[in-house]
A and B are shown apart, each in its own frame.
Chain A
Amino acid sequence: MATISKPTVQHRPTSSEVTLRVNGVSHRLTVDHRTTVLDALREHLDHTGPKKGCDHGQCGACTVLVGGRRTNSCLLLAVAADGEEITTVEGLSDGEQPHPVQRAFLDHDGFQCGYCTPGQVCSAIGMLAEAADGHPSHVTPLPGTGSGAPPPGSPVPLTPAEIRERMSGNLCRCGAYPNIVAAIEEVAP
């Protein structure tokens, strides 16, 4: 008797066990595959510093550092981040000493309601490292175009225009932008 072979639809698990290393501490947890890093941090690991603003990568309130690079945690699935080193705003201070970027936000009044601030601070820290590593931005002059053009790979000086462009992924509905730029300018090399 002839058999008709049907394509077998495999029933795969819809959750997995992952390890997330958050602010230097390893956490083993089982996540539904739909869980983003943002939800894992807030709902499973009680790190409520990263904020859920838009949940679509448009506002930057969820920004954390993943492997040292700033990332929208709302668009990163926790299962895909298995094994990653994650730094949230809670992991920035040195004991009671705020991180220099946090200190500068305080000194310059770089916020009003504070909802976007954890994302702004993490984004600023990631951005400072990018500029130091020679990553250009949209407003960085191209090599060979005269004065002010850094050679490829060398640190990019952070003018206010550079800071504004590089921080455009972090929205502040209170409009604290001038003071945010001033705070970052102070800690920029």
Chain B
Amino acid sequence: MKPFGYVRADDVDTAIATVATEPGARFLGGGTNLVDLMKLGVERPALLVDVSRLPLTGIDPLRDGRWRIGANVRNSDLAAHPVIRSRFPALSQALLAGASGQLRNAATTGGNLLQRTRCLYFQDVSKPCNKRSPGSGCPAREGVHRDLAILGHSEHCVATHPSDLAVALAALDASVVLRGPDGERRVALTEFHRLPADLPERDTVIAHDELLTAVELPAPPPGHSAYRKARDRASYAFALASVAAVLDVRDGEVREARLAFGGLAAKPWRARVAEQALRGAPATEGSFRRAAEAELAAARPLRDNGFKVPLARNLATQVLTSLADAHHQSPSAR
């Protein structure tokens, strides 16, 4: 690892100003991904600006039923929060489906969204990788890509985003608050992560000198919500495919459905085609399957990850069916 400077930020604006003046500076949160990438030589910061003790730790109600989650809320605390657990269950489930107890105790809300892909080539500095070293090539296309993207990839990059939290937030219409030297802006979670196109080195739309300070959740949507993840082992593994869904059913018809896939693309994949197909459709397994298939018609699997297409379809069908059943048993629950 390359030697680096370290400063602990006393307040948000000083932290931002410090990073703004040094191109080699990085914000340090829980460190569970950044420190690992520094050990691997993928990240080589000249300066770490430690923001992990800044008081961005609230989980607070806003007006109109909205909630604001501070960027430094640890994953374990967010998943256990009584309001998140009872009113945003898909969010709690997504967090608890990720990483291990130890990692969730350290990892922050902001850091979870900003973690990098676990593509093997990205993490191995002896290999080319357009995300790590633009223009060097993408060996994953012809190499080991079983875990990688089937949607939205480009000739330059086939990486997936590893966050479970981001997938639930995408389905819940959350936004992130980004603070820079000139003030604050809000970005919808679905617009925060980027598809690779010809700039695979840019995972998100955040600028170097912007700090993710909070996540904002709209009021819990009507209906039931859930998160389900398929992985190679029962616990402590990244998603092969995952689904976050919100379903509102009235009189046997879908009033509103929100669906997002994880593990399939460089960003949480909000399934707008499927949602459109479901609006007004009978709340049956057949409708859910056809809607998922309509969304996944855009999939372009690689040699070894074609299994993700039926896997994602079946996951979505199963989750939506179980939400419709839950509605049947408890129509008024949120």
> Do the beta carbons of A136 and B6 come within 8 Å of each other?
no
From 88 to 133 in chain A, residues with beta carbon under 8 angstroms from any chain B beta carbon are 123, 126-127, 130, 133
Residue B11, interface by CB 8 Å: no
Residue A169, interface by CB 8 Å: yes
Task: Name the distance in Å between B244's Cβ and chain A's nearest Cβ.
Answer: 14
> Do the beta carbons of A71 and B80 come within 8 Å of each other?
no
The contact of B102 among A12, A13, A33, A123, by CB within 8 Å, is A123
Give every chain B residue within 8 A of A173 (Cβ-Cβ).
none
Stretch of A41-49, A75-83, A178-186 lying at the B interface: A75-83
> Do the beta carbons of B106 and A136 come within 8 Å of each other?
no
Most chain A Cβ neighbours within 10 Å, of B76, B86, B102 = B102
The contact of A14 among B5, B99, B234, by CB within 8 Å, is B5
> Do the beta carbons of A135 and B4 come within 8 Å of each other?
no
In whole angstroms, what is the CA distance A136 to B100 when docked? 13
The contact of B100 among A13, A79, A144, A169, by CB within 8 Å, is A169
Most chain B Cβ neighbours within 10 Å, of A10, A13, A36, A63 = A10
> Do the beta carbons of A165 and B85 come within 8 Å of each other?
no
**Which of chain B's residues has its CB closest to A119's CB?**
B102
The contact of B93 among A82, A133, A134, A142, by CB within 8 Å, is A142
> Do the beta carbons of A55 and B47 come within 8 Å of each other?
no
Task: Name the distance in Å between A48's Cβ and chain B's nearest Cβ.
Answer: 19
In whole angstroms, what is the CA distance A56 to B40 when docked? 9
> Do the beta carbons of B102 and A138 come within 8 Å of each other?
no
> Do the beta carbons of B3 and A69 come within 8 Å of each other?
no
**Which of chain A's residues has its CB closest to B80's CB?**
A135
> Do the beta carbons of B330 and A168 come within 8 Å of each other?
no
The SS class assigned to the B binding surface is mixed
> Do the beta carbons of A144 and B86 come within 8 Å of each other?
yes
From 23 to 60 in chain A, residues with beta carbon under 8 angstroms from any chain B beta carbon are 32-34, 36, 55-57, 60
From 66 to 100 in chain B, residues with beta carbon under 8 angstroms from any chain A beta carbon are 76, 79-82, 85-86, 89, 92-93, 96-97, 99-100
> Do the beta carbons of B86 and A136 come within 8 Å of each other?
no
In whole angstroms, what is the CA distance A34 to B4 when docked? 8
> Do the beta carbons of B102 and A72 come within 8 Å of each other?
yes
> Do the beta carbons of B80 and A134 come within 8 Å of each other?
yes
In whole angstroms, what is the CA distance A138 to B102 when docked? 14
Residue B36, interface by CB 8 Å: yes
Give every chain B residue within 8 A of A165 (Cβ-Cβ).
234-235
Give every chain B residue within 8 A of A10 (Cβ-Cβ).
5, 22
Give every chain B residue within 8 A of A56 (Cβ-Cβ).
36, 39-40
Q: Report if A72-B39 is in contact (Cβ < 8 Å); known contacts: A33-B48, A142-B93.
A: no
The contact of A135 among B3, B76, B236, by CB within 8 Å, is B76
Residue B52, interface by CB 8 Å: yes
What number of residue pairs across chains A and B have CB atoms under 8 A from each other? Answer: 130
Q: Count residues of chain A with CB under 8 A from any CB of chain B.
A: 49
In whole angstroms, what is the CA distance A76 to B102 when docked? 11
> Do the beta carbons of A14 and B105 come within 8 Å of each other?
no
> Do the beta carbons of A60 and B100 come within 8 Å of each other?
yes
Give every chain B residue within 8 A of A144 (Cβ-Cβ).
86, 330, 333
Stretch of B27-35, B127-135, B182-190, B293-301 lying at the A interface: B27-35
Task: Name the distance in Å between B130's Cβ and chain A's nearest Cβ.
Answer: 23
Give every chain B residue within 8 A of A159 (Cβ-Cβ).
none
> Do the beta carbons of A126 and B101 come within 8 Å of each other?
yes
> Do the beta carbons of A14 and B3 come within 8 Å of each other?
yes
In whole angstroms, what is the CA distance A155 to B247 when docked? 30
Residue B277, interface by CB 8 Å: no
Given A34-B4, A57-B36, output 16 extra A-B contacts at Cβ < 8 Å: A33-B4, A33-B48, A69-B76, A69-B105, A70-B101, A71-B102, A77-B6, A77-B35, A80-B6, A80-B31, A133-B80, A136-B79, A144-B333, A164-B235, A166-B101, A168-B100
Chain B residues engaging chain A, CB cutoff 8 angstroms: 1, 3-8, 21-22, 28, 31-32, 35-36, 38-40, 46-48, 50, 52, 76, 79-82, 85-86, 89, 92-93, 96-97, 99-103, 105-106, 234-236, 330, 333
Chain A residues engaging chain B, CB cutoff 8 angstroms: 7, 9-10, 12-14, 16, 32-34, 36, 55-57, 60, 63, 69-72, 75-77, 79-80, 82, 123, 126-127, 130, 133-138, 140, 142-144, 152-153, 164-170
19 contacts between A and B (CB under 8 A): A10-B22, A14-B4, A33-B4, A55-B39, A56-B36, A60-B100, A70-B105, A75-B103, A123-B102, A126-B105, A127-B101, A130-B101, A133-B80, A135-B76, A136-B79, A138-B235, A144-B333, A152-B80, A153-B80
